[in-house]
Structure formats: structure tokens, C-alpha cells
Chain A
Amino acid sequence: MKTVSLTIDGKKIRAREGEKVLWAALDNGIYIPNLCALHDALEPFAACRLCFVEVEGKKQPVTACTEAVEQGMVVNTRGPGALRLARTAFELLVASLPVDCAHCPSSGSCELQKIAAHLSIKLKTKRFRKLLRELPIDYSSPLFIYDPNKCVLCGRCVWICRERLGIGTLGFAHRGFDRLVTTFGSEPISESKCLDCGECVVACPTGALAFKDRQGIKSGLGKGG
């Protein structure tokens, strides 16, 4: 396999030709905030807009998930332009989420907490208006709870359910601010074709999909039974 060498944050690394910068960085222990990225997906979704990096020779910051590595490329994940965009995107996300870590089952494993720490910003933004959607929570599945209010629309669950498992219980509905992940016809999950495999819960970076029984993860249910 052909490889190229590049520098990310001063660290010289090698990566497979055609690999995206995001994966090259993550594989080498360099964290770049991301929510929607899935290594196995054919095309990057590029939807969360958190993985901005600065590449030498490019005027504007670019998303690491869409930028292919190149020989001799110099990437800075902590440039001011990239951080500004990542922070704005992240603040926009949390401004539309009911942030309540103390009572959230995903606290501790939540990627939003990790990203907030990485970008050194608080989960409670003062800059933007709080825009909550107040959607009903779906408790119907025996295995997990789906709280669309905590969803960041990264699409990981949709991809896993549809593309990898070929089930297609979850999908996107509506547009703009009303866009949400839901079942066909927005029926309760228990009445959909959900097989309760729990893969979507494992994939969810936030507390939108959470096991009812936190032990569920350990007992192996979360790994597809």
C-alpha cells in the first residue's frame, strides 16, 4: 500500500494514500473534534463541521474529514481560524441541546464533554440564544431510550442501522431546524422494525440514545446480543 508522509501539529506521520486527514490524525493519537465521522462510510457526511484544521498553503480552514492527505502536507489542528469555526459550531450545537450532565446517563462517556474540554469551552454557552425543540422522548424500546432533544444529528445511528446492518429503522425526517432522526412515520421505536440490537446506542456520541439499564452495555446486549 502506498503511503505518504505529512506533519500534523509538528508530528511527522505516515498515512495511506487517499486517507482523510481526520483518520490519519486519530490513528496517530492526535485528536480532532468530530461527531459525524465514520471510518467505514463511503463518503464523509461532513455535517457536524467540528473537525476544522488549517493546512499550510490554504487560505481557509478545511474539514479534516473531507481533506485527503498529501505528501509533505503540513496540518495545524489548533490554528486560530480552525478553532474559531470549531468553537462556533460546537456552541451552536450545545445552544440547541438541553445540557444536563448531572442527570444524563451518558455523562462521562459523552463526546460533547470531551470536545468541550478539548476546545476549552463550557457546555453552557452565553453567546447564543437557547433554542430547544421540546420533542417527546421515546421510552418504548425495552432496551434503550431515545431522546431526540439531545441529538446532534450526526447521523451515525442512521448509517449503522441502514448501511451496516441493513435494517433501516432510523432515518432523517424534515428539514432545517426541524430535521430529526426518527422512524418511518415517526412511530414509536417498539412499533417500528427495530430489532433491539442496540448498535445505534453504542454509536451515539451523546445521550440521545442511551441504554435503559446501564448494565446493558456490559452484559453484551449493546454489541448486538
Chain B
Amino acid sequence: MKTTGLQSVVSTFREIKSRAESQWQELCNSGKPVVMVGAATCGRAAGALGVIRAIKDEVKKHKLDCPVVEVGCMGHCYAEPIVIISKPGYPPICYGHVNKVIAERLIREFILGDDPCLEFVLGALEANELVPSLSDFPRARFEKKIILKNCGHIDPEQIEHYLANGGYTALVKALQMPPEVIINEVGRSGLRGRGGAGFPTGQKWEICRNAPGRPKYVICNGDEGDPGAFMDRAILESDPHSVIEGMIIAGYAIGARYGYIYVRAEYPLAVHRVRIALRQARKLNLLGKNILGSDFSFDIRLFQGSGAFVCGEETALIASLEGEPGIPHHRPPYPATDGLYGKPTLINNVKTLAYIRHIIDNGAEWFASTGTEESKGTAVFALAGKIVNTGLVEVPMGTTLRQVIFDVGSGMQNGKRFKAVQIGGPSGGCLPESALDLPIDFDSLTDAGAMMGSGGMIVLDEDDCMVEIARYFLEFTQRESCGQCTFCRLGTKQMLEVLDEITKGQGRIEDIDMLSRLAEDIKAGSLCGLGKTAPNPVLSTLRHFRDEYEAHIKEGRCPALMCRDLIAYYIIPEKCERSCDACVGSCTTEAISANKKRIKVIDQEKCVKCGTCLSACPPQYNAVVRLSPPSEVPASK
């Protein structure tokens, strides 16, 4: 790029940045208290919008000069709605599980008065004498935030916040570098695609740069569809500019003029915030024609996916962008050489693109210093299931599953026993306790029969039946199969039928062999990644929990007492309290009656196994139990 152009880039950017910084200073250091409310989807689901309204009303009522800012997700989703109050003289304090009443009290007693309401504190954001800080949490020892750093601390709808926190400096730096050097830097960093397959990002960029054909395109894959995964959503909602900046740098590096952000329409807030971010970036000429006065032009359009899981597969995604049915094509040719409209197309996951600015800013060596030999950097996981601290975490690659689940996630809910962790969504697998000390990286997870996938991590406890879990995920992929190729359309359907039968106690022992043989064939024979990985939940549960399959088939018994057809509810007469009728009243089918001694008995013929009696029975009696197989129920006298 010409030197004169570069000078103008640097000076234009300096101006933009200093304006943003003064705005940020005005917010943070003007002596006013500031209230930030986590208002990503996780916060909103927990009631953040009501909290914001209550805070604003209270601020107005007391005529306070106190800005109320909506921020994204900090990762502590279990404690939403989260409110952060920065008041001069105090460290910024983060409050969890805030409701309208608590919110009003915080304004009255902390902002108006001087009582920081320590009873609602989650932690302070920096070390101090007054309250324990979040960095004192055991999880802080393991977390290393790179792409989640800004999330929950800036207003995603204000580009100035991003700019004041180091935003777009990487873009300016990149514009002064030859594209080959950028690609080399990304390559040397060891960054691998975070969409699941873990393909080296630098290599993909290089292939795309060298591919003949123009124009070239950059696509951000935000079609996150795995059950229990919400990392991409959180990043798009909390820090959309980091993804946009990554895309612009990618566009500059491969020589593209246009980019698309493909977000699923089921993420309306992400769509909304990305749209605002694009508009703001365009306004400051960080996007569009002659970016910052340079001779590089790049613009991004937002495209909303219409809800097909398979559109997360890159060839199906491209078909969908072209207006065709979202159906995968055979690879090769790969999109890098033959993608959107037949042109070279770079397609990267949201998280992959979010790392780019940090690699350009801090260098390849800095990034490569975190992680394992083959998997560099950090991994972002969405913790879900029977874990205490559900939410988002970012840990260095090579952290063990045990550290993520028990130290970062604070272990199992309700003191239950850990049974398995499902990683990688419908394409991933279930890993048992023996795999907990496995360092997490792309290759170790694949070897163990799971997969990094996009980063969903669902923790299962002793009450979860592994056959049922496998059946659930297979039902999902079966439903989401495009139906084009034989293996995925009919093979997964066959597997699902067999699993259905097993969970109903109608399985045959030879079904296990049939399942694993068919699963191997589907993996080897399917057209696209969806089919090739669809059998993984079944294969991994067969590998690690074969005894549960056998118990279902041979004994008609569900060891986790989950499969409805294989259990019966029973009231233990010795534990049943004569004067209590809670279960009788709760039963929806009038299956429970009292005998002559006023001990309650379930009529198994009438029972529909809904389980309400189990919840109704007061904990001091705990008389209702589930038994499997149903023949375990003693004959009534």
C-alpha cells in the first residue's frame, strides 16, 4: 500500500480512537456512578430487561446522574441477571441473581446511600479490601480470557466502547502489513478453526488467497445449532466488532471485497447487534469503500439463516446464501477454491475470526505460547447440563475436563455423581469419568471418541440414561438431516428405530453389533460432515457405556431409572406416613389409593409414570421410589 495512504490511515484512526477514548473516559472516570446490566440472551431470559427498567425508574425517581449501560454476557450465566456497579470510592462490584427488588435496593442503598449491599455481591472486578474479587474464584486460576475479554464489560451497541478497549488497532496494523505477512502470522500462531474440525486457519487463508477467481468472499459462520451450545451467540451479542474486525483483516489478507455474516434467525438479538455494529463501523469508514482512506475496500452484509442445522455445514451454508435449498455438496472442491457463486470463499467460525485481532495485535508467538503442541490458544466452552456454574468459559487448550467441570464449573448440581460429559453436540460423543483427566485439545478429544465440535459441553449425572442420551442426539440429527444421501437419511433412521426399541425394552442383543457396524458405515459413507459424525453419540456411548445398553436389552432395566417403559413407581410401605395424602392428591390418573392401614399403594395399571407423586412426597418421608425393571415392584398383598 502506498505510504501516503498509510499515513492517512494512521492519522484518521488516531482521531477516531481519541474521540472514542474520551467518550469512554467520560463514562468511566467522570466521578459518576455507572450501572452495567448483562443483557445478552442469557441475561434477558433471566429477567434482565425488567431489572433495567426497575433501575432506570429508580434512577429517575431519585433524579440521579447515573448512566445505565446494557452490556453482554460475562460468562457467569448461572448468576444472571448480573449487574455491575462502579461507584467512585468503591471497586466495580458485580451482583448476581438480581431481580427488580434487589435492583431498586442497589440504587437506593448503594448509589444513593453508601451501603454496597454485600449480601447480593457475586464479586468485585478488581482486587480490593472490601469484597472478594472474581479473580479470587477458583475458576479464575484456570480461565484465560482472550476472545471473551470484552464480553460483559462493554456496550456491544457502541463502537466507541470497543475502540476504547483496543478495538480496530489490529486492523490498522494489518493494513500496514503485506497480506502474505498477515497470513504467515496467522499460520505461525497455530490457530485452528474453532467450528469443530480444527483445520489450520492460516493454511485455509493461504489456499484462498492463491486460488484463481474473483471476486473472493469472506463468510463468518454463525449458524450455531448444537443443542446446548451458545458461544457464538454470546460473542456476537457481547462483542460483535471483534468478529467484524477479524473479517476485515481476513478480507484484506485473502484479497476479498465482500463478506457475509451468516447468523441464524433464531438469534434475533445477535442479528440486531451485528446490524448495529456494521452500521457504526461503516459510519466511521472502518468498513466500506477505501477503509480509513486506504486503497482497500471491504463491506459486510448480514444474512439470516432460516433454521436448518445442516446449514452450519459450509457447503450447505453457501447454497443457502445463494438462495438454493440448504443442502451440502460433495467436497472437494472446497469453498476455499470454489465457494460462493463458484468463487474462492473463506469461511470461518465466529470464534476463529474473533481471535484474529489478538493475533495481529500481540503476535503469533504470544498466541502460540498458550495451549498444547498441536492445539494453540484457548478453547471456549458453553457449560450446560447438571453442572453448578452453567455459562461460558475460556480456558487454555490442554486444561483437563476435570478442571473445567469441577474447578471452573464448580462440579455437579445437587451433590449428584458425575456420569459423563457430552462434548461437541450431535457430532460429538459422551466421555466417562475415566476420561476426565484428558487434556482438552482437538486431537485428544477425537481419539477418545468425542470431538471438540463448536464447544458445547453438557454434563450428565447418574440420573441420565446413556442410551436415551444417544437416542436424543440421533433423533436430532435424523430430524435435521437434509435427506439427500442414503446413509444419513436412512441409516440414521434405522439406528434411531433400534435405539427407540432398546429404550422401550424391546431390543435384541444382536442389535448392538448391528448398530456399531451400521454406525461405522454411516461414518465412512455419508456425503457431508453431518452424516459422517451423526453416529458419534451412539459409538461413544457403546464404547464407554456398553453395560447400560446390555442392561436395557438383557434385563429390561434402565440403570439410570430414566426410560419410562422400563421403570415403575412404587411406594415403600415402611416409609409411607399414614396421615399424609400428598401423593394421592398429586396423582393425575387417580392411580394412588390408601389401603386399610392408610398406607398408599400405586395401581400399576393406572399409573402413567409421570413422576408427580415422587415430587409430591415430602422429603422427610421419601417413600416414593422408581424401580427398574418394573417387575421389581413387590406384588401387593
Which A positions have Cβ atoms within 8 angstroms of B? 43-50, 52, 60-61, 63, 66, 81, 84-85, 88-89, 92-93, 95-96, 127-129, 131, 152-153, 172, 174-179
Contacts and interface: CB of A to CB of B under 8 A. Distances in A.
Given A46-B527, A63-B330, A95 B494 contact: yes
A85 B525 contact: yes
A99 to B, nearest CB: 14
A92 B487 contact: yes
Given A176-B481, A179-B484, A43 B525 contact: no
Nearest to A88: B521
Given A85-B524, A93-B486, A176-B481, A131 B491 contact: no
B490 A96 contact: yes
A131 B490 contact: yes
Contact of B490 (A52, A60, A81, A93): A93
A177 B521 contact: no
Given A46-B330, A66-B330, A89-B487, A129 B497 contact: yes
Interface residues of B, number: 28
Given A66-B330, A175-B481, A47 B524 contact: no
B498 interface: yes
Contacts of B483: 153, 172, 174-179
B525 A129 contact: no
B478 interface: yes
A84 to B, nearest CB: 7
A85 B521 contact: yes
Nearest to B331: A66
Interface string B501-527: 000000000000010001001001111
Nearest to A179: B483
A153 B488 CA distance: 13
B548 interface: no
B330 A49 contact: no
B627 interface: no
A49 to B, nearest CB: 5
Given A63-B330, A96-B493, A179-B484, 20 more contacts: A43-B330, A46-B330, A46-B485, A48-B486, A49-B525, A49-B526, A66-B330, A88-B487, A89-B487, A89-B525, A92-B486, A92-B490, A96-B490, A127-B514, A131-B493, A172-B325, A175-B482, A175-B483, A177-B489, A177-B493
A97 B186 CA distance: 51
B514 A61 contact: no
The SS class assigned to the B binding surface is: helix
The SS class assigned to the A binding surface is: loop
Given A49-B485, A66-B330, A177-B483, A128 B494 contact: yes
B416 interface: no
A68 to B, nearest CB: 9
A135 B482 CA distance: 19
A52 B525 contact: yes
16 contacts: A46-B485, A46-B527, A47-B484, A88-B487, A92-B490, A96-B490, A131-B494, A153-B483, A153-B489, A172-B325, A172-B483, A175-B483, A176-B481, A177-B478, A177-B481, A179-B483
Contacts, number: 93
A132 to B, nearest CB: 12
Given A131-B490, A174-B483, A47 B325 contact: no
B524 A61 contact: yes
Nearest to B477: A176
Nearest to B527: A46
A131 B497 contact: yes
Nearest to B510: A127
A44 B330 contact: yes
B329 interface: yes
Contacts of A48: 485-486
A52 B526 CA distance: 11
A176 B482 contact: yes
Contacts of B526: 49
A88 B480 contact: no
B308 interface: yes
Nearest to B308: A175
Contacts of A63: 330
A179 B489 contact: yes
A212 B487 CA distance: 32
Contacts of B491: 88, 92
Contacts of B490: 92-93, 95-96, 131, 177
Nearest to A172: B325
A88 B525 contact: yes
B479 interface: yes
Interface string B205-221: 00000000000000000
Contacts of B497: 129, 131
A46 B483 CA distance: 12
A179 B327 CA distance: 12
B498 A176 contact: no
